[in-house]
Structure 1
Amino acid sequence: MSGHLETPALRLHRLRRHAPQPRATALTIGNFDGVHRGHQALIAAMDGPVRSVLTFEPLPREYFHREQAPARLSSLHEKASALSQTGVDEIYVARFDGALASLSAEDFVREILHRRLGAQSVHVGHDFRFGAGRRGDFDLLTRMGRQLGFRVQEQPPFCLDGERVSSTGIRQFLHAGKMDAAARWLGRPYAICGRVVGGDRIGRELGFPTANIDLARRPPPLRGIFAGVLHTPRQSWPAAISIGLRPTVGGKRLLLEAHCLDVTVDLYGQRVEVQLLHKWRDEAHYAQLDELIAAIGQDVAKTRQYFLDHPDALGHPWITRTA
């Protein structure tokens, strides 16, 4: 399992303006959306007995361009869980609001990195920008680090097969249904976590009961029908998974539905992780329920065959915990 269901073995702090904060030793800063292999490489290069991450909620692009912001790869909970697997000791979450957006690059370094977090070393990606108007860069950070007594290290781009790994590229893979490529860049299968909610039991009436996660507040970067795995903290099941609006039955909200193969389990109220391994098709509208039932039956049969052809898929021994 990838560990998204368990309480992260680290301390997560809200970075409040006047509250005292624990002191950071080695610090890195960013959105860390998806905690992909580039992020993992950056964290692995950090030195010091305590490795800390400063991230933001909401993400800056969500603050400035809420309607145009791309779908997130990971929620804050998923991000914290993924970071815990990289060896990070502490996460600081700063609320990105008007005050933080208007903070100059110099004040960001002095007030947040130095005075409040006490960074002894700061590790950033090659394209790191910060402060009002994104005017701060590596050169400014390095100069101020010399003045304030901390070291600055720049991490070069992390590339696979000649391409720079990025959250944007992973979204493109997911949108195109290239699940293996997305998993390679993430270092693990793409997954969605959430709490199982009550449904309208249409799946049960059609002969395919499902565990449902409401995605209305967090639209993911992909839709369609998939083979995947549903994880609880104690058990895992192969599953046929749908992400969409269910147009044939008049669905109005975005829903993830996971039909566990050959077993009926009551997961209502539990937090689960759903890993998406292979995309079969896009969601479709059917004129008759019989057509929908037949299509679901084919999806379930293909999913069952997928796991027969990939006997290691439930365990995913190829997951990389760090880059």
Structure 2
Amino acid sequence: MWLIRGLTNLLSRSGHAASVLDQGCVATIGNFDGVHLGHQTIIDQVRERAETLGLPSVVMIFEPQPREFFQGWGAPPRLTEFRQKLEALASQGVDGVVCLPFNEQLRQYSGMAFIQQLLIEGLLVRHLVVGDDFRFGCDRSGDFALLEQVGRTAGYTVENTRTVTAGGERISSTRVRNSLIQNELALASELLGGPYAIEGRVVYGRQLGREIGAPTANIRLKHMPALRGVYVVGVECADGAAYDGVANIGLRPTVDGRGPSLEVHLFDFAGTLYGQRLRVTFLHPLRDEVRFDSVDALKTQIAQDMRDARQWLASR
């Protein structure tokens, strides 16, 4: 799967963008946060039409996501960080991704400018798959009707996305997010098409875990997570080795509370993981994240968390 990043690379019509989009494409646009079953169905629609037309299938996404640009830390929690999202899109058979920075320049695009510059001149779009509630451009001035209207003269067609439901309700990133916030991991797994996991690179921490007998692999998160608390997890390492463990995800209130992080203790593991990418799958909630009055109190609770996690794993 190829990746084009930035307005300049897309609009210059030179280099890689020109070679992969020289005949146009079939595209869809959105955040694709989580790449859940609804997203996967949209991608299927794009791929089906792309194969029929003999064109590449393309997903256009934004980084940061628009609501993150407008709301900062007040934006809804992220389901997937950028690299994990790309890997998920690649696994669905997408030919290429165009990632545009959502900044003040892009925010000021009118609906017509968005269509003309990004879709027609940038993507050379031949067919577009979006929801009939899709809004774009400054003040959300562009909509599905405008896309259809312009397409009739510009030579592209527009198709509404298929609705995918579970339990009688539409599958959406918001629904996945809410299920995680409420610790309904089974429902989240159903909506995603697999268990919820976070991937990231292990960085150096304060080494407090080693001091209290529970060394952890620390993964710094760039965005606020939907999950908060302590969980039983499964961990897959870069070399394919798999371990059970227990993880704390949130703001580490007892330690420093400086920002969101994921700290994972792997059972029966000896070695170092610094610099490696881990995939952490959340299996079962144990407790909420709380602030302890002392490190000794935290140490006692972590020992209990480890016992509870092993007990749950043994009962499966």
TM-score relative to the length of structure 2: 0.88
Q: Tell me the matched-pair count.
A: 300
Match in the other structure for 1:177: 183
Whole-Å separation in 2 of the counterparts to 1:250 and 1:106 = 47
Q: Find 2:164's aligned residue among 158, 162, 179.
A: 158
State the match for 1:31 in structure 2. 31
In structure 2, distance between residues paired with 1:185 and 1:222: 16
SS in 1 for 2:224: coil
Would the alpha carbon gap of residues 110 and 281 (structure 1) be closer, same or farther in structure 2, given more than 3 Å must change? same
Report how far residue 295 of structure 1 moved. 2.3
Partner of residue 236, structure 2: 231
What secondary structure does 2:67 align onto?
A: helix
Q: 1:84 deviation in Å?
A: 0.8
Q: 1:307 to 1:67 in 2, by over 3 A?
A: closer
Shift of 1:67: 4.3
How much has 1:252 moved relative to structure 2?
4.2
Alpha-carbon separation, structure 2, partners of 1:281 and 1:75: 24
Superposition pairs for residues 14-93 of structure 1, below 5 Å? 14-17=5-8, 18-20=11-13, 21=17, 22-23=20-21, 24-46=24-46, 47-49=49-51, 50-93=56-99
Find the aligned partners of 1:57 and 1:35 in 2 and give their Cα distance.
Answer: 15
Q: CA deviation at 1:153?
A: 0.7
In 1: Cα distance, 2:139 partner to 2:270 partner:
53
Q: What is the CA-CA distance between 1:307 and the residue it aligns to?
A: 2.9
Q: Equivalent of 1:133, from 112, 131, 139? A: 139
Q: How many Å apart are 1:66 and its aligned residue?
A: 2.3
Q: Aligned-pair distance for 1:35? A: 1.1
1:225 partner amino acid = V
Of 76, 80, 99, 2:105 maps to: 99
1:255 deviates by: 2.8
Q: Pairwise CA RMSD of aligned residues?
A: 1.9
For 1:154, give the aligned amino acid.
N
| CA deviation after TM superposition for structure 1 residue 293, in Å | 3.0
User: Per-residue CA shift, 1:24-52, capped at 9, x if unaligned?
Assistant: 42100111111111111111112213211
Would you say 1:306 and 2:312 are equivalent positions?
yes
Question: Using a 3 Å threshold, how does the CA distance of structure 1 residues 302 and 112 change in structure 2: closer, same or farther?
Answer: same
User: Secondary structure, in 3 states, of the residue corresponding to 1:65?
Assistant: helix
The answer to whether the 8 A contact 1:209-1:264 is kept is: no
Secondary structure of the structure 2 residue equivalent to 1:294: helix
1:126/1:157 contact within 8 Å kept: no
Q: Secondary structure of the equivalent of 2:72?
A: coil
Shift of 1:253: 4.3
Which letter does structure 2 place at the counterpart of 1:194? Answer: G
**Unmatched runs of 5 consecutive residues or more in structure 1:** 1-9, 311-323
State the distance in 1 between where 2:256 and 2:66 align. Answer: 35
TM-score by structure 1 length?
Answer: 0.86
SS at match of 1:120: strand
Q: CA deviation at 1:289?
A: 4.4
Following superposition, the deviation at residue 246 of structure 1 comes to: 3.6
1:222 equivalent in structure 2: 227
TM-superposed CA distance for 1:99, in Å, is: 2.3
For residues 25 and 169 of structure 1, the distance between their equivalents in structure 2, rounded to whole angstroms, comes to 30
Counting aligned pairs with the same residue, the percent is 40
Whose helix fraction is larger, Structure 1's or Structure 2's? 2
CA distance in 2, matches of 1:19, 1:296: 54
CA distances 1:235-267 after superposition (whole Å, capped 9, x unpaired): 221111111344445554433111111222310
- The CA distance in 1 between the partners of 2:84 and 2:144, in whole Å, is 29
